[in-house]
Amino acid sequence: MSKEEKEYDGEVNPLDNMMSQLRNAREHIDISDDIFERIRYPDRVAEFNIPVRMDDGSVESFTAYRCQHDDARGPYKGGIRYHPNVSRDEVTALAGWMTWKTAVVGLPFGGAKGVVVCDPKEMSEREIEGLTRRYTKAMRSLIGPEKDIPAPDVNTGPQTMAWIMDTYSIHHDYTIPGVVTGKPVELGGSEGRSTATGTGVSMLADCVADYFGKPLYDATVAVQGFGNAGSVAARLLDEKDANVVAVSDSAGGIYDPEGLDIAGVENHKEETGQVTEFRDANQITNEELLKLDVDILIPAALENAIGASIADEVEADTVLEAANGPTTDEANSILVERGVRIFPDILANAGGVIVSYLEWVQNTQRYSWDEGDVHEKLEDRMSESFEEVMEAHESIDTDCIRTAAYTVALKRVAESHEMRGLYP
């Protein structure tokens, strides 16, 4: 076991969760045992020891991974997360979710994920840069614009991607922007990438509103997690005149039944580092937020936010999963049983990887689209994918939209394996 390997004591292992979701879908489609045997395991999980010279002169070793899950449909694709509490199984689950995500939205990519077990909040910028560059060096032969393309995830962003691109390029003696997506725009990043996940969530909210004939105007919304995905989704829904009544981050949440001033909360978070103590909003816990009686609940933090113990008390009509893996399989069954409509992560938060794809295409073509073009392409891809998932939902015998989305994804991945055949 690696230095910091996490144990799942009573908590759901995200890999078990991902595998249950896959098996649920398999019941509704015809996939041979041979193909299923191939896609149920990741292609590889590389583990690295990353030594870093810390500011006090000492050397600290960090455990890191890159899981490449499946590349039948194209190069591996997925983010890099810096977090103190991540296991090898979790990286594998997150990589698997990327495989199903790129497939359900029809991108020519497979799935991957990288993680460094560290607490970036306790590290200086110089230490994080050292860690990033050494990690890139370790992954050098695994990644590449035609092989495996990292991107931002929890606690990483454009600056991290710039360091990865620079380190990778130095080792190849020329500049290779397409090795990562989510770069700063000045270095070949795409317009609209930094806000893409939250934008995609708000576009999906529009699709759901149209489909069910229930306008977003005045719909009450609660957002758990006020990072890159959650804060943008909250702001855009607020701009669409939905009523965002609660938001939270890891320090706790705030609630105002009359609706929060989201621009004000964003400034407050910028200044104080958290959303709590915003003006005279009521303080609530993350758990209380998840149980609020709202029209739309958006879990936008980490895995397992909605477990079986609170699923019975979730009062929202619709859940849009902006986080990866926020609902356990057991909680999902309870919610579906209770008539809650859950739009799964692999669809709801796909805006990020969709614009990553657009960035990669722009890099490959040495071309750039303006923000309007990117927005339009993202909107088309989100609404087409939504329609395909809802068609599957209408045609198979399940109330679970997640299962419907998985049938679309699984079929695409399975067909690619079938057509490519098994070598030798």
- Site residues (vs ligand GLU, CB under 6 A): 77-79, 151, 153, 181, 324, 349, 352-353, 356
Chain residue whose CB lies nearest ligand GLU: 79
SS3 148: strand
Nearest Cα to Cα of residue 232 among 196, 206, 256, 208 = 196
Place of tokens 């356990």: 328
Q: Quick one: 102 or 220, whose CB is closer to ligand GLU? A: 102
> How far is it, in rounded angstroms, from Cα 25 to Cα 400?
10
**Taking the complex as a whole, how short is the minimal distance between the CB of residue 78 and ligand GLU, in angstroms?**
5
Cβ 100 to ligand GLU, closest distance in Å? 11
Q: In terms of CB distance, is 105 or 222 closer to ligand GLU?
A: 105
Beta carbon of residue 160, minimum distance to ligand GLU (angstroms, whole number): 12
* Minimum distance from residue 66 beta carbon to ligand GLU (Å): 13
Q: Which is nearer to ligand GLU, 245 or 326 (CB)?
A: 326
Give the Cα separation of 27 and 25 in Å (integer): 5
Contact, 325 vs 345, CB < 8 A? yes
- To ligand GLU, the closest distance from the beta carbon of 235 in angstroms equals 19
Of residues 62 and 109, the one with the C-beta less far from ligand GLU? 109
How far, in Å, CA of 360 to CA of 357, rounded? 5
Distances (CA, A) of 205 to 119, 198, 211, 266, 295: 33, 11, 10, 21, 11
Nearer Cβ to ligand GLU, position 78 or 106? Answer: 78
| Calpha distance 21→5 (Å, rounded) | 24
Q: What are phi and psi of 258, to 5 degrees?
A: -80, -10
CA atoms within 13 A on the CB side of 311: 21
Active site residues: 113
